[in-house]
Amino acid sequence: MYGNLVDNAVEACSKVPEEQRFVKIENKYQSGILLLVITNSKTGKKNKSLKTTKKDNIRHGHGVQSVRKVVEKYNGTVSFTDKGDIFEVSAMLYGIEVKE
């Protein structure tokens, strides 16, 4: 899940001018709860359906479904927010154990 989200964020921001590119990754863990927020720059066109914009939609466009499955496994919540020139994914997972 995490790798796909970061890959998508990097790919999306690579399409904007270099001086406007960014990927911000935040995470916080407390008492079995993990909060993960990934924010990235993107082109200004909104994608309300969250479907892939790639021509090969057989091999691409499964990221949102994959993330939702992982979040469901951990009884969590996820939101995808397209603000035009910024995209944000926020996921909260419950019952996460830290292994040392």
For residue 51, pLDDT over 60 is answered with no
The structural domains of the chain, with segments of one domain joined by +, span 2-94
- Measured CA to CA, the distance from residue 90 to residue 35 in angstroms comes to 7
With the CA atoms of 33, 50, 45 and 43 taken in that order, what torsion angle do they form, in degrees rounded to the nearest 10?
A: 50
pTM of the model: 0.78
For the segment 74-94, the average pLDDT, to the nearest whole number, is 92
Percent share of the chain, pLDDT over 70: 80
Q: Would you state the pLDDT for residue 91?
A: 93
CATH T-level assignment (fold) for domain 2-94 = Heat Shock Protein 90 (3.30.565)
* Per-residue pLDDT tens digits for 2-22: 567 788 888 888 889 999 999
